[in-house]
Structure 1
């Protein structure tokens, strides 16, 4: 288990794991009691996932739905709290089912303690979703 790792380093490692389609590795960056929130999630989509197991279940099918090619324009800002960073970034790739381009801007507020993510608020744009009946992970 990693310890004393800066929040920005953990976040960058997570991006590399997502690009490698290593979802189990990405989930291993999470604390057992970690919380993942989606404040702008549309109706019918999860707004909050409690615990590493729930986050793992949610993310399991991610590469089957989104083929992420790159995260250009990643800017990581240190907050006044050492364990928390604010991230502005863009994810690009393709939607697997339709083969259409995927291009999403994100802002995330991420807290890391003892080298593990404890809280992650993902402010993604629900207006970019073509079909709100199907989420990117296949977990309706």
Structure 2
């Protein structure tokens, strides 16, 4: 649980060194509901760090809060986190969302994590739009 908590705090602190330290070299990062133009899967710490590196050009503050962390009784290395974001974008617009992230921690490092969120607010924050079909 401490590893996932440290990772989320590193997001809030924009501490990329801590993020790198907590990720295993072979880490897999998945964003299964990512909007078009965003990767759905990144393999390896270098790919994850390369994806994260330009984020400060778009986001002023992360603002993760209401963080709740749970572990599976059967495997304490399986950590499920629930949290909200209240980000300020460079554009400037606010970006608010809710997340569920599932971490797999082995030997003190994150080897896999899957982030679930509503992609619509993200698309809008980056200047796009989502138009529902006519019914």
Which bracket does the TM-score occupy, shorter chain normalised? Answer: 0.7 to 0.9
Flag the structure with higher strand content: 2
- TM-score norm. by structure 1 comes to 0.82
Asked if 1:24 corresponds to 2:17, the answer is yes
Partner in structure 2 of residue 92 of structure 1? 86
Partner in structure 2 of residue 83 of structure 1? 77
Taking only aligned residues, the RMSD between alpha carbons, in angstroms, comes to 1.6
- Distance, in Å, in 1 between the alignment partners of 2:60 and 2:19 is 15
Task: State the aligned residue count.
Answer: 125
- Distance, in Å, in 1 between the alignment partners of 2:61 and 2:2 is 20
Partner in structure 2 of residue 59 of structure 1? 52
Alpha-carbon offset, residue 67 of structure 1:
2.5
Alignment of 1:35-74 (within 5 A): 35-74=28-67
Alpha-carbon offset, residue 116 of structure 1:
0.5
Does the CA contact (< 8 Å) of 1:18 and 1:68 recur in 2? no
Cα pair distance change 1:132/1:46, threshold 3 Å: farther
**1:74-107: per-residue Cα shift (whole Å, max 9, x none)?**
11111232211111101212011x1211212100
**1:39-95: per-residue Cα shift (whole Å, max 9, x none)?**
101223200000000001000112221223532211111123221111110121201
- Distance, in Å, in 2 between the alignment partners of 1:68 and 1:12 is 18
Larger radius of gyration: 2
| Deviating more after overlay: 10-19 vs 55-64 | 10-19
